[in-house]
Amino acid sequence: MSTSTPLPPEALDDWLAVLAAGLDLDPADVPVGALLDVARDVAHGVARPAAPLSTFLVGFAAARNGGTAADIEQACATATRLALAWPATHPTETR
């Protein structure tokens, strides 16, 4: 069990800058708002544990499709569309 304390919300930008640098990415290329929106929609529409996995898949798909801002936007839009449709297509009793 981890004894560290969670990252306070105001430190998010600092953490993302450090992580992006560690992954050799430009923080300006990370669409934080879009990714957080996907995570929110998936967590509320599908299941909380699906949120981090979904954002990983969004990034993976965007990278495989070229990695441009448009590729990221398309992957986010697809994930959001599917997450918002999930409750209607997968009733609670079958989830």
CB atoms within 10 A of CB 39: 20
The closest of 7, 70, 10, 6 to 34, measured between CA atoms, is: 70
The closest of 90, 95, 80 to 42, measured between CA atoms, is: 80
Q: Quote the percentage of the chain above a pLDDT of 70.
A: 94
pLDDT tier at 3, thresholds 50, 70, 90? low
What are the tens digits of pLDDT across the range 35-58? 999 999 999 999 999 999 999 999
At 63 the pLDDT is 96
pLDDT tier at 20, thresholds 50, 70, 90? very high
pTM, rounded to two decimals: 0.82
